[in-house]
Amino acid sequence: MNGRVVSFTWGRGLGHVSRQIAVHSELRGLGRDSLLLTERAQRLIDDYGFTQTVLPTDADSLVGEPLHGTGPRVDHGLARVMVARVLRPDDAVLHDVTVQRELYDRAARLGCPQFLVHRFQRNHPEPPAWVARHAPAIGTIYLLGEPGRAETVHGVRVLGVPHVVRPLLDDRSPWPEDTPALRIAVVAGGGGHHDAPGFLTAALHGIREYARHRHTATDVDVLVLTGPHFDGAVLVPPGMPGPVRVRPYLGPAYDVYRHAHAAITHAGYNTVQELVRSGVPAVAVPGVRDFDDQRVHLRAAAGPNVVVAAPDAHTVAHALTEALHPPATTPGHPPAAPTRPADGATRIAHDLIAATS
């Protein structure tokens, strides 16, 4: 079988789409075509040159988050017709954590092999049992962050792989090259979660408090990335120690973390993997999610360069001091040596190719 690999991605953040892009980029390098079905148009997918089709669906129509909901605003009949038109018998289907109902059902009827990428979730601590009961057409589960695990549970093949990190297309800096100030990136991921405005407010107030407490004579140049799905307002407090640049989105040609002296992030899955890759000193403010657990990802993946903080200005300021001023360092200390990027996407792509050839 040499057909396409078809995936569905959704969400107010960028974790799902970033993981899919990472895996599909590897598949493209191995000669496989891709089609991404989405809940909303994603600029990130266009930037990587993949084809996407928007389905009339929402969070309540997914199998997985929650398990059997049906959204009253969703035209399931239209979704079924659209999936039937795009899915072919020689396609393989790669789900990411959530399993979209119409895609799963159509793939099962056509006999398309189905795979699932899974990361820890509170409502599915044992994914093989959940898959065997509710989505038995899925034959393989890739468990992120559990390399070395290989077993068959409840008739489902389980393969543990390293974490996945989305590749960048270039390493441009979002700051001018001659910027002398302390560069701090404030990143809200996709920005679509309800706690994004509070996180951004706490981060900016924390930076102001940090600068006042340190009595630094160095300006601080702050880049705020609200995320493409952010629909709130960014309130810049008076007395900031330098310019504050607010952008909704920067494409994959920019390596924000590598060019920053420090970062304050909302600690989504993709962000955590990028922090590990860059080694930049960072303050992580875990978001509150219905099914996900940001703190679990931080404990499992984040290195010593990441300090965890609560979403209030004083705690953020203290954590920023700890991140930027560990013993025997000075403000603006270069980031720690980056670690080798996790190669989970490569492992998944090669295994999927082998399983469908």
Per-residue pLDDT tens over the stretch 50-102: 999 988 776 544 444 443 334 556 677 888 899 999 999 999 999 998 888 88
Strand order in the sheet with 262-265: 244-247, 220-225, 182-187, 262-265, 282-284, 306-308
The mean pLDDT value for 320-345 works out to: 68
201 closest CA partner among 219, 229, 224: 224
Model's pTM, two decimal places? 0.88
Structure tokens belonging to residue 64 = 């997985």
- Can you tell me the distance from the alpha carbon of 233 to that of 188, in angstroms, rounded to the nearest whole number? 13
Q: How far is CA 291 from the centre of its chain?
A: 15
pLDDT digits (tens, 9 = 90+) for 39-48: 888 999 999 9
Is the C-alpha dihedral spanning 303, 197, 53, 127 positive or negative?
positive
Q: pLDDT at residue 122 above 60?
A: no
Beta-bridge partners for 299: none
DSSP assigned state of 331:
T
**Domain boundaries 5-164+342-356, CATH class:** alpha beta
Domain with CATH 3.40.50.2000 in the chain: 5-164+342-356, 182-324
pLDDT digits (tens, 9 = 90+) for 145-189: 889 899 999 999 999 999 999 999 999 999 988 888 899 999 998
- CATH number of 182-324, picked from 3.40.50.2000, 1.10.760.10, 3.30.70.260, 3.40.50.10470: 3.40.50.2000
